[in-house]
Amino acid sequence: MDSDKWANWLKSMYGIKAGNNMPQVIVADHSRLIYYDVDQHGEKIKFNSGSIFSTINGAFAGTVSYKHSENIVERLARYLNDKLVVVEQTVSHHPWGVTLVVIGTLGGLALWLRRMMREESALADDLNRKARLD
């Protein structure tokens, strides 16, 4: 990749600064927005087949640690978006089941609140009776 033309993108995605340390090799899994910049031995990936294949094998085996191309805020936003998509799919595929669950939850909450208010009222009545002096 042309490090002069793509300098800002390389810096934001992979932390690669254009300069005299080129060429630099990374192994990227762009579908998960992660990348590897060290091989199985913890050394920077060299521009040779042994180092590159060592990194790929380590990535598949899970022995090489990866880095994220996104910051923590972007990852949190992606996580929350994925959860909202799951909720949307559940509601669209099972509308009656979701409706019953929501009605049941609201009914249970109403009953619980009613019981708490009744207990609070009974407690207040008991306190009033004990406080009377006649």
Three-state DSSP at 35 gives strand
Give the amino acid at 38.
V
C-alpha to C-alpha distance for 29 and 47, rounded to whole angstroms = 18
C-alpha to C-alpha distance for 103 and 84, rounded to whole angstroms = 20
pLDDT range class, residue 132, cuts 50, 70, 90: low
C-alpha to C-alpha distance for 67 and 28, rounded to whole angstroms = 10
pLDDT tens track for 94-111:
999 999 999 999 999 999
Q: Comparing 127 with 134, which gets the higher pLDDT?
A: 127
Q: Is the peptide bond before 95 cis (omega within 30 degrees of 0)?
A: no
**What is the C-alpha R_g of the chain?**
30
pLDDT at 21: 66
Helix axes 72-93 and 95-131, enclosed angle (nearest 10)? 100
Q: What is the mean pLDDT of residues 75-85?
A: 94
The percentage of residues in the chain with a pLDDT greater than 90, rounded to a whole number, is: 31
pTM for this prediction: 0.59
